[in-house]
């Protein structure tokens, strides 16, 4: 049976940590998105605004690939500072993914700008795969 007083107490104790981790998580995601847009040679957001599906796929993969380790960190972090530290580290791993992908596909930016879909889809998949491995590696 539901005890109203216990429910209210649980809500009051859990709401602030939820709010802090949620806001910090969105902040880290925003910072990652800004860094990713700056790091890529092509104009990611402008291409997405102009309905370039290749750019949308690539950018979405990068965001999802970063959100996966963030969600794992929220579950495991003991402090918000720990969450921020490992969140930044995870973001750097995801940025590195783009640069390593460029070794295999050196003209990925031109292909995204041209609206080609195959290579950006592979890039998005790579971001997600690295994000999953990144998240699993953050178990301590």
CA 90 to chain centre: 8
- Residue 117 pLDDT > 90: yes
pLDDT tens digits, 20-30 = 999 999 999 99
Q: Given a cut of 80, is residue 44 above it in pLDDT?
A: yes
Q: Domains of the chain: which residue ranges? A: 21-137
3-state secondary structure of 43: coil
Sequence-distant (≥ 6) Cβ neighbours of residue 136 within 8 angstroms: 72
The pLDDT mean for the chain works out to: 94
- Whether the model clears a pTM of 0.75, i.e. scores above it, the answer is yes
At residue 12, the pLDDT reads 73
Q: How far apart are CA 95 and CA 115, in angstroms?
A: 22
């Amino acid at each position: 049976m539901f005890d109203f007083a216990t429910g209210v107490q649980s809500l009051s104790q859990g709401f602030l940590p939820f709010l802090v981790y949620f806001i910090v998580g969105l902040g880290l995601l925003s910072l990652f998105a800004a860094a990713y847009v700056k790091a890529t040679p092509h104009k990611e957001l402008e291409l997405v605004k102009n309905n370039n599906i290749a750019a949308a796929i690539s950018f979405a993969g990068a965001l999802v690939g970063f959100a996966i380790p963030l969600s794992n960190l929220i579950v495991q972090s003991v402090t918000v500072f720990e969450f921020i530290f490992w969140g930044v580290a995870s973001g750097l791993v995801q940025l590195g993914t783009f640069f390593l992908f460029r070794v295999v596909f050196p003209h990925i930016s031109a292909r995204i700008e041209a609206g080609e879909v195959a290579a950006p889809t592979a890039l998005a998949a790579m971001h997600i795969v690295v994000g999953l491995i990144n998240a699993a590696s953050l178990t301590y």
